[in-house]
Amino acid sequence: MSQLQRPARNFFRVKCGAAMLLTVCLFLSAQAQELFSPNRNFRMVFQLDAGGQPGYELFYKGKAIIRPSRLGLELKNDSFSLTSGFVVADSARGSVNDSWTPVWGETKTVADHYNELALTLEQPRARRKILIRFRAFDDGLGFRYEFPTQPNLVYFVIREEKTQFAMTGDHTAWWIPGDYDTQEYDYTTSRLSEIRGLMKQAITPNASETPFSPTGVQTALMLKTADGVYINLHEAALINYPCMHLNLDDRNFVFESWLTPDARGDKGNIQAPAVSPWRTIIASDDARDILASKMTYNLNEPCKLPETSWIRPTKYVGVWWEMISGKSTWAYTDEFPSVVLGKTDYATAKPNGRHGATTANVKRYIDFAAKNGFDAVLVEGWNVGWEDWFGHMKDRVFDFVTPYPDFHVQELHEYAQAHHIKLIMHHETSSSVRNYERQLDTAFKFMKQNGYDAVKTGYVGNILPAGEYHYDQWMINHYQYVVEKAAAYHIMVNAHEAVRPTGIARTYPNMIGNESARGTEYQAFGGSKPNHVTILPFTRLLGGPMDYTPGIFEMDLSKADPNNHSHCNSTLANQLALYVTMPGPLQMAADFPENYERFMDAFQFIKDVAVDWDDSKYLEAEPGKYITAARLAKGTGNWFVGSVNGDSSRLSSIGFGFLAPGKKYLATVYADAPDAHYKTNPQAYVIRRYIVTRESRLRQLCAPGGGYAISLFEAKPEDLKEVKPLK
C-alpha cells in the first residue's frame, strides 16, 4: 500500500500547562469530555471517576453500545500501577479527512476520516503520565495507550491490561475460544450467557493449544444486539506487544482485555517511549458496513517500504492438498525414525513412493498453471527433515536450503521460468523459532538465487524456546521481524499458524496473506461447519486477507485417500464464490489438476476471477447466514460477484446497480442446482448466461452450504445476439 503525501492536519489544541492554567486543568479533569465521529453517529464520553480511574462510554445513533468501561494497565512490581490516581493534565483535539492508495486491496483508494481526542493523564503521586488517544471514525472508535519519555516510567512490565468493553445486554456472539496458541477453531454462535456452558465442546484438538478461561474468547469478536446493532471488537497495529484476548464477566456482560503471557507469565515488557495497539469497536445497524470497514487498516501507519513494484497479487496452484488429503506425503522416505541435518544420508534411503514434492510432479503442476493462466506453484515437502519434524521440540529441524534427492532446484527453476511461472517457497519451522531466525538470511538468499519471490511460513506445534506462546510479545516481534527481513530481500510473506493480522499489511504490504484461522485444510481433517465462511469475513478478515485455499471440487476425501473419511462441507458453487467473498491478493486453486479437468466449465470462473480490486460492494450480509459481494477487477471494467450461504437454503435477491450506466454486460452465473446440498449433492451446479444492465435483478436459490458466483464482462455484439436479457 503506497505511502502518500498527507496534507497538513488541522489540529487545534486545548493545553493545560503548569500553574498558569491550573484552574482550567482541574475543570477538565472533573468534567466528562466528548468525541463525535465526523457523521456524528458515534459519541464517545470520557471521564475519570472519584478515584482517578479513567473510563469511557460509546453511543451509536443516540443509544449506548458500550456502557461505562474502565481503562488502564496493572504493572508488575509497581505500587501505583496505571489504573487510578490520575488527573487530566492536557487535552488535544483534531480531525483528519484524507485518503490513501493501497498497493493491493478491495478498493482503489481508502478514505481516512476521523476526529481525535488525545488526553494526557498525570499520576501526581507517582510523578508520571500516560496518554490515551481516541479516534472516532464513521464506522467506529479506536483508542490506545501511549507512554511518553519521562524519568519515572522508562522500563516497565505489564501484569495485565485492564481495558473493558461493557456490553449493554446478553448479545448474540460469533466466537472462538480464547487461546494463546491457535485460532483454528470452528465458530460457535450463542448468547454471551451461554459461552461458559459451550466452551468445553468449542475447544477441539490442535497441534498446539492453550485455552485460558471458561469465558475467554478471541478477537475479532462479532456481536449483535437484540435491537439489531452489529458490534465488532478487535485490535489494530499489533506491534511489540502481546496479542489481546477478551475475558467475559458473564454475570455483568463485561469483556476485559486478557493479554498473552510470555514464558515468565509477564504480559508485556515495555520501554518508553512506546504505544499499545489500538483497541477497536466497529458498529453499525447494517451488517454490510462491518464488512466494508477499513478502520483497522486506517489505524496502522502508512507504507514504510520505499518501493513496492515487486509486490504482485498472485493466483496459484500447488503441491499441498495432496499431503493434506492423505494422497501424498511431505516425507521422502519411511526408513528414518530420526533425522540429523547434515549427517543423515538420504542418498542411500529408499523412497516411500508417496512423496509429493518430486521434480516430475512439480512439473505437472507448472504445466497446469501455465496452461490455465495462473501465476505460481507452491511446493511443500521439498526440503529434508520431514521424517521427524513434528512433536519433538527439536531445534535444528529444517535448514531451508537442502532439497530431497528427487527435487531438483535448478532444473525446476529453469522449467518454471521457461513457462513464465513463479515457484513459491515453503518454510515450515515446526515452531523452532530460533532455528529459523538463525537461517533467515541464508534462506532468503537461496530463494532469490533460485527465482522464489514469495514464501509460505509455518509454525505448527509448541513454540521453541519452550514456554513461549504463539501470540506472546516475543513471537509477535518474531513475525514482524520475518516480514521486515523479507521486505529487504523483496520477498512476499504468507504466514501460517502466526498471529491473526491487525492491518499491518498497510505498513508492510509484502505481507500478502496469512492463515491464522481455521482454513480449508480442516475440511480434510473431519470438516468445518457449512456456515464457517459466512462468519470469517466478519471476524478474521477485518485485519487482513486470509490464505483460505479455496477451490475444492471433490468433496469426498476418501477418493484421494481411502483412509480419510472426511467430507468438504460446501457445494462446488460455494467454493467458486469464496474467491470474491474472501478477498485477498493471494488466492489458491487448492484441488488437484485432475479434479479441475473433470469440471472445466466451472473451473473457468477460477481462471477468470481477479485477485486485486478497484471497488467493492456488499449486496447482502448476515453473519453466520449469508454474504454476497461484488468487486471490480483492478484496471478493468469486469465485475465479479460471489455469494456464500449458511446452513439453510435461501433465496438471494440482488440488483446490479454497481454496473456502469448505459452499458450491457454478459453475466455468467455459476449456481447451485435445484437439488444441490453440501452433504448429499455438492457437485450439482448449473451455469447460465444473461445480458444484464444496472437495472437488472437476479433471484437465485442457494443450497445449504451453497451459493453462486457471477462473472460480468461488457457484452460484445455477438453476445447481444445469442444471449437473452435477464428478466
Beta-bridge partner residues of 425? 455
Task: Kindly name the residue from 184, 497, 521, 554 that is annotated as catalytic.
Answer: 521
Residues 382 and 426 sit within 8 Å (Cβ to Cβ): yes
- Please give the single-letter amino acid code of residue 395: D
Q: Give the CA dihedral 242, 244, 250, 252, nearest 10 degrees.
A: 100
CA 125/CA 86 separation, integer angstroms:
9
- Is 521 a catalytic site residue? yes
551's grid cell: 477451490
SS (H, E, C) 83-143: CCCCEEEEEEEEEEEEEECCCCCCCCCEEEEEEEEEEEEEECCCCEEEEEEEEEECCEEEE
Q: Give the CA dihedral 660, 661, 666, 672, nearest 10 degrees.
A: 80
CA 172/CA 189 separation, integer angstroms:
7
670's grid cell: 455459476
Beta-bridge partner residues of 701? 651
Closest CA to 585 of 629, 630, 633, 628: 633
Element (H, E) at 291: helix 287-292
Q: Give strand ranges (E) for 346-421.
A: 376-379
CA 124/CA 25 separation, integer angstroms:
13
* Angle value at C-alpha 181, between 178 and 183, nearest 5 degrees: 60
| Residue 557: φ, ψ to 5° | -75, -15
The DSSP symbol for 395 reads S
The span from the first CA to the last CA of the chain, in angstroms, equals 41
Closest CA to 354 of 317, 318, 329: 329
Helix axis angle, 600-608 to 572-581, nearest 10° = 0
Closest CA to 195 of 212, 179, 174, 167: 174
CA 237/CA 301 separation, integer angstroms:
8
Element (H, E) at 42: strand 42-48
Residues 521 and 588 sit within 8 Å (Cβ to Cβ): no
Closest CA to 625 of 514, 506, 688, 706: 706
- Please give the single-letter amino acid code of residue 458: G
CA 6/CA 96 separation, integer angstroms:
10
- Please give the single-letter amino acid code of residue 116: E
Q: What 3-state DSSP class applies to 277?
A: coil
Contacts (Cβ under 8 Å, ≥6 apart) of 525: 566
User: Catalytic residues, which ones?
Assistant: 521
